[in-house]
């Protein structure tokens, strides 16, 4: 068994060993359902699609994913188990990736458990299931990208609360970059490509592309770059902290 899968399994099992998994999943499901029905007006709209459901995912993740990711490294660091981990014959890469994948798969499980929504909409009418599939994939990728951000920030601090708040802030900025709220701050003399790339960083635009029902390679690659980039940053931060 490779080291990666050992870390992955240990980590995933640890979620279910504590009430964390239960609390997270229940809150996610209740909120996702409530938002779709009460705020999104899913039933009143009378339209057989899950827009009312997926529209709230980014905002749900904004608070739930940091809650999940804050403990990834900060907890180990505080309890001193990080040093212990470092002495084990496991490469840094496997450790970062294993922990991250466990968290990502965990959000996938939570997302999967929203399947009654899919049954509901198929019972009520004749939805475009391609669009729904695309939305699910996009939603999962977005959760993954946010987790990667959270992983890096969690590695930076011992304090889980600080990790949580910082992750929320950074994810929020990543989400709205490209919108007026961010672009208004970018000085007008900046080169076009800087503006372009800031706009291209937005989670929301890429998620919305998925939610249309189109799996565009660019959107997939974007999320992959985000995940890989933030995970590499995580590794660098951990290594720097270790050195100091």
Determine the Cα–Cα distance for residues 216 and 221; give it in Å rounded to an integer.
9
Residues 84-113 within binding reach of another protein (CB under 8 A): 113
Work out how close the CB of 1 gets to another protein at its nearest, in angstroms, rounded to a whole number.
25
Determine the Cα–Cα distance for residues 37 and 124; give it in Å rounded to an integer.
14
Residue recorded with tokens 């889980």: 160
The residue within the footprint of another protein, chosen from 36, 67, 147, 171 (CB under 8 A), is 36
In which region does residue 213 sit, left (phi positive, over 0), alpha (psi from -120 to 50) or beta (all else)?
Answer: left
Total residues at the site for another protein (CB under 8 A)?
67
Is 39 a binding residue for another protein by CB under 8 A? The answer is no
Instruction: Provide the b/e sequence for 111-127 (b: ≥16 CB within 10 Å).
Output: beebeebbebbeeeeeb
Which of 1/224 has CB closer to another protein?
Answer: 224
Which of 33/108 has CB closer to another protein?
Answer: 33
Q: Near another protein by CB under 8 A, which window of 5-13, 72-80, 99-107, 174-182?
A: 174-182
DSSP symbol at 179: B
Q: Which two tokens stand for residue 217?
A: 């390679």
Work out how close the CB of 65 gets to another protein at its nearest, in angstroms, rounded to a whole number.
19
Q: Closest Cα partner for 61 from 192, 219, 207?
A: 207
Work out how close the CB of 96 gets to another protein at its nearest, in angstroms, rounded to a whole number.
12
Q: Which two tokens stand for residue 207?
A: 């998620």
Determine the Cα–Cα distance for residues 120 and 140; give it in Å rounded to an integer.
20
Contact residues toward another protein (CB under 8 A) are: 19, 22, 25-26, 29-30, 33-34, 36-37, 43, 46-49, 113-114, 116-117, 120, 123-131, 133-134, 178-180, 183-184, 192-193, 195-197, 199-202, 205, 209, 212-218, 221-222, 225-226, 229, 232-233, 235-237, 239-240, 243
């Amino acid at each position: 068994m490779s080291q990666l899968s050992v870390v992955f399994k240990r980590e995933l099992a640890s979620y279910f060993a504590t009430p964390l998994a239960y609390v997270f999943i229940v809150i996610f499901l209740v909120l996702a359902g409530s938002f779709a029905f009460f705020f999104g007006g899913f039933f009143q709209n009378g339209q057989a699609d899950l827009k009312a459901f997926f529209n709230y995912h980014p905002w749900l993740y904004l608070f739930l994913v940091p809650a999940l990711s804050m403990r990834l490294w900060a907890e180990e660091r505080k309890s001193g188990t990080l040093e212990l981990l470092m002495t084990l014959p496991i490469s840094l890469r496997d450790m970062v990736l294993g922990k991250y994948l466990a968290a990502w798969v965990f959000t996938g499980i939570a997302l999967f458990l929203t399947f009654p929504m899919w049954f509901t909409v198929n019972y009520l009418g004749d939805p475009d299931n391609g669009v729904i599939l695309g939305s699910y994939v996009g939603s999962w990728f977005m959760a993954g990208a946010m987790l990667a951000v959270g992983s890096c920030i969690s590695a930076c601090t011992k304090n889980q609360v600080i990790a949580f708040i910082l992750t929320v802030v950074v994810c929020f900025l990543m989400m709205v970059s490209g919108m007026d709220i961010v672009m208004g701050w970018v000085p007008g003399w900046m080169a076009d490509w800087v503006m372009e790339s800031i706009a291209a960083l937005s989670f929301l635009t890429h998620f919305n592309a998925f939610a249309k029902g189109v799996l565009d390679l660019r959107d997939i690659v974007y999320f992959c770059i985000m995940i890989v980039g933030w995970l590499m940053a995580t590794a660098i931060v951990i290594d720097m902290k270790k050195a100091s």
